[in-house]
Structure 1
Amino acid sequence: MTTQIQHVDHELVQAAAHIARTRCRGDNHTMAAAGRARDGRIVTAVNAYHFTGGPCAELVLIGAAAAQGAYELDTIVAVGDRDRGVVPPCGRCRQALLDYFPALKVIVGDGERIRTVLITDLLPASYVWADHQLAAE
């Protein structure tokens, strides 16, 4: 059962949509992501497509946030170029997001039906790499 959180961070969705409209050009950059850091800052990023498997916008966002000193993200959203709207994270991104931010909220859905869910609901019964790290200490 998915835990829906009542609040949708529309400012975050608008930030990602703005980046998708203004920075995604051609086939190399087709997705934008925005994340809200725990201190309230918004960090944005775009994917870096490459036929060898370039990173998704959500993964680029993790690095961009760290480069800005934002090591704790509260909420994330990805938006496609060409007005595709909110796009849920792929499986690889879901696992990475869960490992980095186990309490992360993710905005998913389309049109008027966007909603906020916990990352754990997008990847149920998952292996949590962070648990492995704690056990190794």
Structure 2
Amino acid sequence: MAELSSADAELCRLASDLLSRSHDPDRHRVAVAARGASGRTYLGLSLLSNRVSICAEPSALANAAMAGETDIESIVAVGMDPDDVPQVINPCGVCRELVPMYAPNVRVIVNDGGDVRPVHVAELLPIPWARARSYA
């Protein structure tokens, strides 16, 4: 089990702070913080609606891309627990597919039964979906 570095603990704090400021069960349920190789941090919020919703992970990755960041080193998602206390949560299935497309070497901070630790993104989706022509 890998321990959180001080930089990863800071990412967790930044995402928790963002969610504490922005949480709205009808609009923003998840906050993300991602750290690029440049050392800069990029934040993202989930955007919820009746017809379509956007997870917080692509929001943060889009912010990084717009800033010219080409290498994301770590990312963490935070949601509210039943007592409205921010806690690290794990990426949904869609984000497990999307994140490695834009950050193939990222370390994702996960909550493994209360053990908050970083894992390589490939551990979250060990046999990813691919189009048939990708195998050629």
User: Considering the TM-score relative to the shorter chain, is it more than 0.5?
Assistant: yes
| 2:103 paired residue number | 101
| 1:125 paired residue number | 127
- Which residue, 82, 85, 109 being the options, matches 1:83? 85
1:89 aligned counterpart, secondary structure: coil
| 1:38 paired residue number | 37
What is the alpha-carbon root mean square deviation over aligned residues? 2.3
Q: Which runs of 5+ in 1 are unaligned?
A: none
* Structure 1 moving runs of 4+ over 2 Å: 4-8
Task: State the distance in 2 between where 1:128 and 1:77 align.
Answer: 25
| 2:19 paired residue number | 20
Identical aligned pairs, as a percentage? 32
1:22 aligned counterpart, secondary structure: helix
Task: State the distance in 1 between where 2:96 and 2:15 align.
Answer: 18
Q: Which runs of 5+ in 2 are unaligned?
A: none
Calculate the TM-score normalised by the size of structure 2. 0.84
Higher RCO by CA contacts (8 Å cutoff, separation 6 or greater): 1
Alignment of structure 1 residues 52-71 onto 2, 5 Å: 52-71=51-70
Q: 1:17-46 deviations in whole A, cap 9, x for unaligned?
A: 000101222411111000001111111110
1:78 aligned counterpart, secondary structure: strand
The answer to whether the Cα contact below 8 Å between 1:24 and 1:46 also exists between their aligned partners in 2 is: no
Calculate the TM-score normalised by the size of structure 1. 0.84
Residue 113, structure 1, aligned to residue 115, structure 2:
yes
Amino acid at match of 1:77: V
Q: 1:97 to 1:60 in 2, by over 3 A?
A: same
Task: State the distance in 1 between where 2:52 and 2:69 align.
Answer: 26
